Each structure stands twice: as structure tokens, then as C-alpha cells.
Amino acid sequence: MSNSAIVPWVRKRSKPTCASVPAHVVKFKEVRLYLVERKMGCSRRSFLTQLARTKGFIVDDILSDDITHVVSEDSGSSSLWAWLKGCALENLSKMQVLHISWFTDSMREGKPATIETRHLIQDTSPALQEESASVPVSVISQYACQRQTSTDNKNKILTDAFEILAENYEFNELQSSCLAFRRAVSVLKSLPWTLQCIGATQGLPCLREHTKAVIEEILQCGRSFEVEKILSSERYQTLKLFTSVFGVGLKTAEKWYRRGLRSFSEILVEPSIELNRMQKSGFLHYGDISRVVTKAEALALGNIIDEAVHLVTSDAVITLTGGFRRGKEVGHDVDFIVTTPEVGKEECVLRHLIDSFKKQGILLYSDYRPSTFHVSKLQCQRFEAMDYFAKCFLILRLEATRVDGGLSCAEGDNRGWRAIRVDLVSPPMDRYAFALLGWTGSTQFDRDMRRFARIERRMILDNHTLYDKRKEEFLTARSEEDIFAHLGLEYLEPWQRNA
Ligand code: UTP
Ligand code: MG
């Protein structure tokens, strides 16, 4: 859909539409009201609209530049103003943005009430952050590390569609288009309001023509035909299915697809396919590990790890990271950092833990990767996607009796246990803050923080370190707050990093 179809959206509303032509006698031609539906609700809004019209007020159903008075019941001024600013209005600065109390006063007096300070909904959004001169001045930053993103996604319909488009680009190895949609997802997730008109995308970063066209289509039709076409394509469905198996990456999935295989049963009976150990476990426990893990299950695993590790080292430090640390209620796996206050002592911890799980009979799969970390490697001054810390990718058996409130089981499943994917990583304590930041994620948040460091600060950030290229020195950090401070960024709590 071309952009020309987008622009007239705003223009059309410059003229009063049929819906806003009052059927009643207009007494106050100079006043044109718009009632904000949010918080007020649809039926109360219609009632108040009718009431005002019978009293001689003009009330438009649509927000346009002709409006003189915006009336809201929303006491959260920042979200209201963020929404108004996103509505692509040229006259916003001339409009009165008023609390419902002004409206009720006006209805009582039978004329537009004199505006008093108590009626005004002030724009209290903080002044633009004074970052370094090189950071573009924008209400919403292009970097996720300068936006707060909670788990409350107000634009899920749009982001779900974008995730499918991004994944399809990934399947077709079109990385830059994939990244463009992932960035758009991340921006939409950060909005404290629901995008309801295409005009509201004005001023939002990281939205290209294509992303805007998809938004417009979904807002108008409630669906995207491009997304529906992808979802019904055999290639997408098959690659999605195959890559959902633990140990099956895109290359393997593609290979199987090209050989004409379309289902798990076809793979499992194909004599020429030799599954590796990880894939065998992936298929064996598919039913369990393809189901979400709950927070209660994650906490139960934390207790098991805690008990096992303290038999070996009394001062071990165990931290739940990944999505659960960001406040998510469910995840696809559980991620923990396990370390010791004394540098070097952490090296043996994961092996001891794996032994302990084996003895307890709860180790269903283990892939241990010893540390390849050495301080000299930091000198390479390149960003490393994979970190060098000792880690293990596990599948553990979790008994229902260990979980507060029980397991999240499929209907009819009365085994009393389930398999869960668990990742453990063990950085030395002097690298803990960097590892914690990296493993807390989200992946898109990490990507943007590294991009911000590189482009805006000429620094290299990864899971091991932060290097200042201008000063030619490594910057130390004891906490995540230290890393944000080195980068000149306002600190964001883990639950604000769900980009
Ligand atoms: P996950 O893939 O577990 O993501 O990696 P998640 O955010 O917890 O999502 P769910 O809820 O499980 O689906 C957690 C973080 O660990 C980083 C990833 O980049 C992500 O931010 N990570 C993972 C690493 O830094 N290195 C690794 O080797 C693996
Ligand atoms: Mg995780």
C-alpha cells in the first residue's frame, strides 16, 4: 500500500466529517471538543458527546487540527501527552488539554466554563535527555537502551505480525530486513499506548515504509495479508516446525526441507538421517520442552541448583537471569549465572553441579562447554557474539512435588514430572556485571546497547568487558549500574529491558 494512502488520513479530518456535523443547534461555534475514549470508555463517551451536543457544543468524533479542546478522564498525563504527540497534529500547541472536570463544569453552566489551572492536564513528560551531542534528539530513541520496555506490550497485534515477518526474512537469509522488523517490534513494545492510527507513527524511530504499510493494513482490516500468506506457506510452516526442536538450527532445517521432508515422523523414519545427541534429546523431550516454563517452575529449579551447589561451595552465588529476571511470567528455558566470590574458584562449579544432577537422577541431557576465557582475549577489541565463559546446556527432570502450585502439565499428563531446558553460565566474579547484563537480555536490548556503545560512545561492549577506544582502556564494572554509567545512560531496571 503506498504512502499516499497514509497521508490523506490526517488531511481528511481537517474538514468536519459527516459523523461530527451536529444535528443540534450550535451555540458555541468557536469551541470544538474532542473526548478521549481511553479511561472514559466507549459508552460513556457517546453519552457525554450527546449531552454536550444537546447543550449546543460541537463535539467531533475524530481528533483533528480543528479541535480546540481535548477532554480526558485519564489522570496519567504522560501517557495522554505521549499519545497526543504521536497523533501528527499541527495545532496541538494551540489546543486546550483539559480534565473531565472542565467538561462537567461546562455542562452544569450550559456554556464553556472558564478554564482554571485545576482543569489543565499539563505536559509533564521530562525534557529531552541531554545525552552527548551526537545522540539524535528524539522523543523516542532509536536505541532500546534509551527506552523503557516493560512486559506489558500494548501493541501485541502489530508486534506478533512483525515477528512473523522478521522470522520469515531470517528463514530466507535476508538479515537486514529481518533486523528492520525486529527493531520495529522493539519500538512498538516500548510504547505506553496502543497505536490506533497511522498518523500516530509519525516521529517513531525505526519504522520504514514497509513496516508502516503493514501497520496501516492491520489497523484498517484487522489483519495483514502478507503475514497470512507466510503463515500458510509450506516452507515457513516446515522450517518453523523443524527449528522448534532443540539442536536443530536453520541450516539443518533447510537441508531437511530441501530433501522433501515435512514432518517429524518423516525425519525419524528416514534411514539416511543421523541425529546428533542434542537433536535426539530434542525429539525425545519435545512435548515437554516445547511448552512454556512457568515462574514457579523456574524458582523450583533455582532451589535445586542452590542446594546442589552449596554442597560443593558454601559461598556460591546463583542468579536467575534471562526473561525471568526481566519479570516475564513464562519462558522457553531457565537461565542462571553460577559463580563464586573468589576468581578462579568458579571453574569447577558447573562440573560438580552436573555430577550432582546425575546422582539425583534428574539429568536428562547435558552439553558442557569449558571456559575458553582468558584476559588476553579481551585485547582483540572485537565484539564477540558467543561468550567464552564455562557454560552448560541442560535438560533437567523437575518433579511436581518441588513446584509451588504444581507443574504446568498438558491435559491428561499424570507423570508427576516434566523436562525443562536449563542454561547455566559461570563467569569469573570480575566479569559478573557484564555477564549479568548480557544474559539478562533481552537479545534486542543487548544488540541496541552494543550498537549505542559503538556508534555513540566509540566503546565496545560484550558479555566480558567494556572497552573505550578513545581512551584505549578497559572500564571496570562491579554492577550493571556501573556499565550504564560508563556509557552515560540512565539506568534501566531489568523489567524495563523487555525490548
Ligand atoms: P534466552 O534465549 O533464554 O532468552 O537468552 P530469554 O530472554 O530468556 O527468553 P525466553 O523467555 O527464555 O524465551 C537469555 C539471554 O542470554 C543471552 C541472550 O542474548 C539473551 O539475552 N545469551 C544466551 C548470551 O549472552 N550468550 C549465550 O551463549 C546464550
Ligand atoms: Mg531464557
CATH architecture of 437-496: 2-Layer Sandwich (3.30)
* Protein residue with its CA nearest to atom 2 in ligand 1: 322
| Contact of 93 with 68, CB cutoff 8 Å | no
Measured from the Cα of 445, ligand 1's closest atom is 21
For residue 381, the model assigns a pLDDT of 52
382 versus 488: the higher-pLDDT residue is 488
Q: Please tell me whether the peptide bond between 442 and the residue prior to it is cis, using omega within 30 degrees of 0.
A: yes
Q: Is the pLDDT of residue 383 over 80?
A: no
If you measure from the C-alpha of residue 378 to the centroid of ligand 1, how many angstroms do you get, rounded to a whole number? 22
- Tell me the pLDDT tens digit for each residue of 103-139: 999 999 999 998 888 888 888 766 433 333 333 334 7
If you measure from the C-alpha of residue 346 to the centroid of ligand 1, how many angstroms do you get, rounded to a whole number? 21
In CATH terms, 293-429 corresponds, of 3.30.460.10, 3.20.140.10, 3.20.20.70, 3.30.420.40, to: 3.30.460.10
How far is Cα of residue 92 from the mean position of the Cα atoms in its chain?
A: 30
If you measure from the C-alpha of residue 298 to the centroid of ligand 2, how many angstroms do you get, rounded to a whole number? 10
- Tell me the pLDDT tens digit for each residue of 202-250: 889 999 999 999 999 999 999 999 999 999 999 999 999 999 999 999 9
* Protein residue with its CA nearest to atom 24 in ligand 1: 439
For residue 261, the model assigns a pLDDT of 98
* Protein residue with its CA nearest to atom 9 in ligand 1: 323
Residues of the chain with CATH 1.10.150.110: 156-230
For residue 83, the model assigns a pLDDT of 84
Q: Is the pLDDT of residue 2 over 50?
A: no
- Tell me the pLDDT tens digit for each residue of 309-351: 988 889 999 999 999 999 999 999 999 999 999 999 998 999 9
Residues of the chain with CATH 3.30.460.10: 293-429
Measured from the Cα of 463, ligand 1's closest atom is 25
If you measure from the C-alpha of residue 336 to the centroid of ligand 1, how many angstroms do you get, rounded to a whole number? 10
Residues with CB under 6 A from ligand 1: 322-323, 328, 331-333, 335, 386-387, 438-439, 441-443, 446, 463
Q: Tell me the ligand closest to 440's alpha carbon.
A: 1
Residues of the chain with CATH 1.10.150.20: 233-284
pTM exceeds 0.85: no
143 versus 382: the higher-pLDDT residue is 143
Residues of the chain with CATH 3.30.210.10: 437-496
Classify domain 156-230 by CATH number. 1.10.150.110
Q: Which of 70-84, 115-129, 456-470 has the lowest mean pLDDT?
A: 115-129
If you measure from the C-alpha of residue 331 to the centroid of ligand 2, how many angstroms do you get, rounded to a whole number? 6
For residue 380, the model assigns a pLDDT of 56
For residue 8, the model assigns a pLDDT of 23
Q: What is the mean predicted confidence (pLDDT) over 166-182?
A: 97
CATH architecture of 32-128: 3-Layer(aba) Sandwich (3.40)
Q: Is the pLDDT of residue 4 over 50?
A: no
* Protein residue with its CA nearest to atom 17 in ligand 1: 439
Q: How confident is the model at residue 425 (pLDDT cuts 50, 70, 90)?
A: very high
* Protein residue with its CA nearest to atom 14 in ligand 1: 322
Q: Tell me the ligand closest to 293's alpha carbon.
A: 1
Q: How confident is the model at residue 254 (pLDDT cuts 50, 70, 90)?
A: very high
**Alpha carbon distances (Å) from 296 to 309, 331, 423:** 20, 11, 17
Q: What is the mean predicted confidence (pLDDT) over 25-39?
A: 92
The Cα angle at residue 392 between residues 179 and 342, in degrees rounded to 5: 105
Residue to mutate, 293, 439, 446, 498, ligand 1, most ligand atoms under 8 Å from C-beta: 439
Q: How confident is the model at residue 91 (pLDDT cuts 50, 70, 90)?
A: confident
Q: What is the mean predicted confidence (pLDDT) over 413-438?
A: 97
For residue 5, the model assigns a pLDDT of 26
Q: Is the pLDDT of residue 63 over 60?
A: yes
For residue 38, the model assigns a pLDDT of 84
If you measure from the C-alpha of residue 322 to the centroid of ligand 1, how many angstroms do you get, rounded to a whole number? 5
Q: Is the pLDDT of residue 377 over 70?
A: no
For residue 76, the model assigns a pLDDT of 72
Q: Is the pLDDT of residue 431 over 80?
A: yes
* Protein residue with its CA nearest to atom 27 in ligand 1: 386
Q: What are the residue numbers of the active site?
A: 333, 335, 423
Q: Is the pLDDT of residue 429 over 50?
A: yes
Class (C level, CATH) for 233-284: mainly alpha
Q: Is the pLDDT of residue 82 over 70?
A: yes
